[in-house]
A and B are shown apart, each in its own frame.
Chain A
Amino acid sequence: MILWNRWTENARKRPDRDAIVHWVAGEDPYRWTFSGLVRAAECFAASLTERGIAKGDVCAILLRHNRHLYPLYLAVSCVGAIPAILAYPNPRLHPDKFREGIIGMSRRSGLDWIFTERDLEPVASPLIEPAAGTTIKGLHFPLEWDMGTTLSGKARDRVEAAHRAAAPADPFLLQHSSGTTGLQKPVLLSHRAVLEHVRLYGEAIRLTDTDKIVSWLPLYHDMGLIAAFHLPLAFGIPAVQIDPFEWVQVPSLLLEAVSRERGTISWLPNFAYNLMADKISDEDLDGVDLRSWRLVVNCSEPVRHESHQKFIERFRARGLNLAALSSCYAMAETTFAVTQTAPETEPAVFAADRAELSKGMAAPARTGRPDRLCVSSGRPIDGCRLKVVDENRREVADGTIGELAITSVSLFDGYRNYPEKTADVLRDGWYFSGDYGFRRDGEYYVIGRKKDVIIVAGNNVYPEDVEDAVGKVDGVIPGRVIAFAEDNKDIGSEQVAVAAETNVEDDAGRKALKLAVVRAGMSIDVTIAKVYLVPPRWLIKSSAGKPSRRANKERLLEGA
């Protein structure tokens, strides 16, 4: 089966049921029924075939929160093309950096078309000029298409011929990590992988016909795309989609939607628990009833016990059940979930001895000794196997900290056109995640990572991108910059810190330089929360001759 067949089957079986409730603050939500969504997708599909979009074409979709995004996405898949939802650029992202990011993606994934809004035309047009050296054939503005609401006989024939040509093993979607220096890793998933994953993950969270997903997650992120969009759409249950930009400004919107729509399941990155617990006023909770919320799944950032505690303490009086707290370990490379805690059971918390942790062992903390509370991410879902391995990729015993390796029926085949990166992480059917953790009583605990990627509020920031931007600032010694993650307990996430070598010594000059470093971060849409200016030759080099992120971070934080 292919996804399109599943969607049309749902439209036949439950034509009038809500498929997507498109939420806009202060307005009545727009409700796509399953049949209405498929009908709109067919009209988009006919327009796509008229415009020459063909099987296998990679179609980047860059649209802000708009109800037409969903049928367009379905339509791209209907004609056998491959949708890739990308983040609509933030105004602070410099147009050159935006284009560099798209050019990098185009080189890896062979991007064919961009579907976007007219506002982006001046910035995106240079990408289709021959000099840009991209594979992009054209820009389309689907929100301006005049398509009608029904298909003519010929158009229907074209659309049907297009999706009949698709097979379960064909590529279905492309997920792209963000970035500006060409480090993006495109993950291509087949129809079979996504459908199989939806089935298996649905079982793991005991999804039923009465569930309703509520989400503010961006659809360019695997958690938003797979868990909060594809899972309900394939399963045949409704999903409420809130604008991520509205939610982050007014976090109570999620609770309002759960309460009004009687939502049952949401996925959230850890920082969202802190944000909602700390920043929502009592007034905004008037009339909010969270009793319907049976699962609030913490995923995509390390899970913090104190965030869960804050959240439950803040919203218990609104009907939030302690057993709704849940956690999951997931990644785009395995389609989404790898492990999941038992539904409607609070995740296990293990107090590990800090001294033992630093020696690579997860042992229970003895009374009076400092501990670290580690939250379980649960057991492998069906179809997935995990092992914890040492640096030689040999499996280690329970309680020993190592890298988590995964094999899964929904595993990707490799990064598209990126064989060297694929060879690093994929061997003999196992994906070596770069995440560190341990197993205890059959459950997995994720506590850190080998990779230097910085996870800020659920979004991956590549230190290379930040170092590249900061290295070009006047006053910073080129190549003598590191970017790294600093923990921020208050926001329940990480923040980006930078250390840069400079010859500037006077106070006014250093102040101006720090600001220039922060602005360089802004140009790539990264907030640099802390800048350390250090003298020339201060940064410790790694064996490769480049400044070592890890060693310098330790040195800086020890001195702080």
Chain B
Amino acid sequence: MITNELKQTILGALKLDDWNLTEQTTAPEVPGWDSLNHVNVILAVEQKFAVRFKNLEILKLKNVGDLQRLVDAKLGRP
């Protein structure tokens, strides 16, 4: 389950009005989410949730579900 907060943060970083983001969504499926913009998405998420990701954590992300789980783990959410 992708929270609305995370979804809006990602869409905001990509300047997209709307896009269906599921746990399985990968970056190449989303308009504007290319390799250059990836760092902007990550920075926006870090800023929004006041968390810091380690380099390896970023490199292991395969889809939006992974990103959601990483944010949840950082925030101590179950």
Interface residues of A (CB under 8 A from B): 25-26, 90-92, 245-246, 248-253, 271, 275, 279, 281, 283-284, 457, 491, 511, 515, 518-519, 522, 527, 529
Number of B residues with CB within 8 Å of any CB on chain A: 20
- Whether A253 contacts B55 by the Cβ 8 Å rule is yes
- B:22-42 near A, CB below 8 Å: 26, 28-29, 31-32, 34-40, 42
* A527 lies within 8 A of B55 (CB): no
Please state if B35 and A249 are interface contacts (CB–CB under 8 Å). Answer: yes
Question: Which chain A residue has the least Cβ–Cβ distance from B56?
Answer: A26
Whether B28 lies near A25 (C-beta < 8 A) is no
Interface string of B47-74 (1 = CB under 8 A from A): 0000010011011000000000000000
Given A279-B39, A491-B36; A246-B31 close (CB under 8 Å):
no
- Known interface pairs A92-B29, A248-B38, A249-B38. Does A279 touch B43 (Cβ–Cβ under 8 Å)? yes
In the complex, are the beta carbons of B29 and A250 less than 8 A apart? no
7 closest residue pairs by CB, A with B:
A92-B28, A91-B28, A518-B31, A26-B56, A250-B55, A248-B35, A527-B34
**In the assembled complex, which residues on chain A have CB atoms less than 8 Å from the CB atom of B28?**
90-92, 522
Contact among B32, B40, B52 for A527, CB-based, below 8 A:
B32
Specify which chain B residues have a CB less than 8 angstroms from the CB of A26 in the assembled complex.
55-56, 59
Interface secondary structure of B, over-half rule: helix
Q: Is the CB of B17 closer than 8 A to any CB of chain A?
A: yes
The distance in angstroms between the C-alpha atoms of A181 and B36, with both chains bound, is: 24
- A515–B11 Cα distance when bound, in Å, is 14
Given contacts A90-B28, A527-B32, A527-B36, contact A511 B17 (CB under 8 A): yes
Q: Do B35 and A25 touch (CB < 8 A)?
A: no
Q: In the bound complex, how far is the Cα of B29 from the Cα of A281, in angstroms? A: 28
- Inter-chain contact B17/A284, CB cutoff 8 Å: no
Chain B residue contacts of A522, Cβ below 8 A: 28, 31
Residues in B lying within 8 Å of A, measured CB to CB = 17, 26, 28-29, 31-32, 34-40, 42-43, 52, 55-56, 58-59
Contacts of A271 in B (CB 8 A): 36
Out of A253, A279, A284, A518, name the residue touching B32 (CB < 8 Å). A518
- Tell me how far the C-beta of B55 lies from the nearest C-beta in chain A, rounded to whole angstroms: 4
Cα A26 to Cα B31 with chains together (Å): 30
A250 contact set on B, CB distance < 8 A: 55, 58-59
Complex alpha-carbon distance, A248 and B40, angstroms? 11
Task: Assess the A283–B55 pair: CB atoms within 8 A.
Answer: no
Query: Nearest-CB distance from A507 to chain B (Å)?
Result: 12
For A529, list chain B residues within 8 Å (CB): 32
Taken together as a complex, chains A and B put the C-alpha atoms of A527 and B35 apart, in Å, by: 10
Please tell me if the beta carbons of A284 and B31 are within 8 angstroms of each other in the complex: no
Specify which of B28, B34, B39, B42 lies most central, judged by the most chain A CB atoms within 10 Å of its CB: B34
Given contacts A91-B26, A248-B39, A279-B43, contact A25 B59 (CB under 8 A): yes
Interchain CB contact under 8 A, A515 and B31: yes
Taking CB atoms, residues of chain A closer than 8 Å to B26 are 91
Per the bound structure, the CA–CA distance linking A518 and B37 in Å amounts to 15
Q: Are A251 and B39 in contact (CB under 8 A)?
A: yes
Complex CA distance for A482 and B76, rounded to whole angstroms: 50
Q: How far does the alpha carbon of A252 sit from the alpha carbon of B59 in the complex, in Å?
A: 13
Separation of A11 and B29 alpha carbons in the complex (Å):
45
A sample of 29 cross-chain residue pairs with beta-carbon separation below 8 angstroms, ordered by A number, consists of A25-B56, A25-B59, A26-B56, A90-B28, A245-B35, A248-B35, A248-B36, A248-B38, A249-B35, A249-B38, A249-B39, A249-B58, A249-B59, A250-B55, A250-B58, A250-B59, A252-B55, A271-B36, A275-B39, A279-B43, A281-B52, A457-B36, A491-B36, A515-B31, A519-B31, A522-B28, A522-B31, A527-B32, A529-B32
Complex formed: what's the CA distance from A92 to B52 in Å?
28
- Closest residue of chain A to B46 (Cβ to Cβ) is A281
Question: CA of A253 to CA of B56 in the docked complex: distance in angstroms?
Answer: 11
Residue of B nearest to A251 (CB): B39
**Cβ contacts under 8 Å, A283 to chain B:** 52
How many whole Å from A307's CB to the nearest CB in chain B?
15
Select B55's contact among A25, A279, A519, beta carbons within 8 Å: A25
* A106 vs chain B, min Cβ distance (A): 26
In Å, the complex CA distance between A25 and B58 comes to 11
- CB-based nearest B residue for A515: B31
Q: Are B37 and A527 in contact (CB under 8 A)?
A: yes
- How near does chain B come to A517, taking the closest CB pair, in angstroms? 10
